[in-house]
Amino acid sequence: MKKIHLLMALAGVALIALIGCESTSTQNHEESVILTADQIQILTPSATIAKGVAVDDDHEIFVGENNRTRYRTPLLRMDVQARSVPNDMILTAHWQGDDEENPEYGYEFGPEGLVFERPIVVAYALDLVDSPSDVDLDLLSMYYDREDGTYEQIYSYIYFEPVFNPNGGYHDVDFKIWVVGWVDHFSKYIIATGPPTGVGLR
């Protein structure tokens, strides 16, 4: 993990306070930019620390029709606005990194095909192995796996969460990378580096 100066960290905290890892927007952020598998580089658990050393558990999240739900774990976050679902229900998230044939860094969400009245926010933690430069963060996005060999890029951004380093005092912090995306229906969503900036969505 990289270290940055305290002033930069404080600036980052101010920016997070402004944009955060959540959204209250009702705009439909999911758009259609469809790419083939050879146009993107799919991240796998072996490229990361967070899930490369341990298989994540499945998740079950109770969501109330008229209540906002904020789900937080070290590896997965979800923000569901009130009146996003038609009734009280259980949402599920199944980690895709343990798929023996096609491990992908992401989750398959359920109920499959559920369409939200208001887009929800999902975020995946990403701790890169020794050489973060191997992954171009400028090209990192969240994708809807259409399971036909193509991937639909959705609106997403990278969020750096400052974490104070107890061994470095107050002058240094580490940071945790989150890939944040807006989705309007449930399916399988993974993260990958895509085409050059300007071709896809950012």
Q: What is the mean pLDDT of the segment spanning 4-32?
A: 41
At 62 the pLDDT is: 97
Q: Which residues pair with 144 in a beta bridge?
A: 152, 189
The conformation of residue 165, written as its DSSP 8-state character, comes to -
10 Å CB burial of residue 51 (0-12, 13-18, 19+) is buried
Each residue's pLDDT tens digit, 75-106: 899 999 999 999 999 999 998 877 777 778 89
- Give percent above pLDDT 90 in the chain: 37
Each residue's pLDDT tens digit, 155-196: 999 988 887 766 666 566 677 889 999 999 999 999 988 875
Pairing of strands 150-153, 41-42: unpaired
Pairing of strands 89-95, 140-145: unpaired
Distance CA(113)–CA(110), nearest Å, equals 7
Question: Average pLDDT, whole number, for the chain?
Answer: 76
Sorting pLDDT into bands at 50, 70 and 90, what band is 18? very low
Report yes or no on whether pTM surpasses 0.85: no
